[in-house]
Amino acid sequence: MNLIERLNWRYATKRYTNVKVPPEKLQRILEAVQLSASSFGLQPYKVLVIENEELRKKLLPAAYNQPQITEASHILVFAVWENITSEKIDQYIQRIADVRGITVESLADFKGRLASLPARPAEQNLNWAARQTYIALGTGLVAAALEGIDASPMEGFNPAEFDEILNLKEKGLKTVSIMALGYRDAEKDPVSKFKKVRWPKEQLFIHF
C-alpha cells in the first residue's frame, strides 16, 4: 500500500484487540515521533510510552472510560514542558554543538533568538509547546499507518487528572494529547466500517 492507501486505511480506532504491537514496529513509530519537526527544533515536550496495564487502568476514568486506554497495546502521552527555562535552552544549544561537532560560541546568534522564549508569559509558551506536540502526534499517526498499526489520537481526557496520576508536576510536564496504538477489533468497532468523511478538495484547498 502506498501512503495515500495507508491514510485511507487508518482511522481513529475506538476498540482494540489485546494483541501487542511488535517491539520493532513500536520503535519505528517512536523514531518517527523523535524525527518530527518542531519550531527551532527545540521539541519542548516529552512522550510517555505506557504499556503497564495497572497504570492504564488508573488512567481510564480520567479519559472518560474510553476503551482505547486499556484495550490498546500501548498509549503515548504527549506532555509539554511546563516552563521553557534558560537551562533548557543551554542544554539544547550544547546538544546541537555535540551532535554537529561545533562550538557553543558558533551558535551565539541562534541562542540569542531562543533567549526570548524564557522571557515570554508561561501561558504563551504552553500553547506554543502544545502546538509542537500536535506535529509529533501527526507524524506518529502517519508512521503507525505505514507500519499497519492502528492508532487513536485523543484529546478526550482530563489533563489535570493525567498529570496527577502520572506524577507529571514533579517532572515539570503537562499532558496535552494521547495516541493509542494497537490492532483494531473490527467486530466490536462499528467505526472501522465507516466511510472516511473529509471536505472535498475544492472546498478544502484554495489555489491562487
Ligand X SMILES: Cc1cc2nc3c(=O)[nH]c(=O)nc-3n(C[C@H](O)[C@H](O)[C@H](O)COP(=O)(O)O)c2cc1C
The SS3 of residue 45 is: strand
Nearer to ligand X, 6 or 20 (CB): 6
User: In 35-158, which ranges are continuous DSSP H helix?
Assistant: 53-59, 68-71, 86-100, 108-114, 116-119, 122-146
- Are the beta carbons of 185 and 200 closer than 8 angstroms? no
* Spatial CA neighbour of 95 closest among 136, 47, 140, 40: 40
Q: How far is the CB of 14 from ligand X (least distance, A)?
A: 6
Give the Cα separation of 56 and 65 in Å (integer): 11
**H, E, C per residue of 121-156:** CHHHHHHHHHHHHHHHHHHHHHHHHHCCCEEEEECC
Nearer to ligand X, 14 or 174 (CB): 14
Nearer to ligand X, 16 or 92 (CB): 16
Q: How far is the CB of 95 from ligand X (least distance, A)?
A: 28
Binding site for ligand X (CB under 6 A): 11-12, 14, 66, 153-156, 177, 196
Residue at shortest CB range from ligand X: 156
Nearer to ligand X, 97 or 142 (CB): 142
Q: How far is the CB of 31 from ligand X (least distance, A)?
A: 21
Q: How far is the CB of 185 from ligand X (least distance, A)?
A: 14
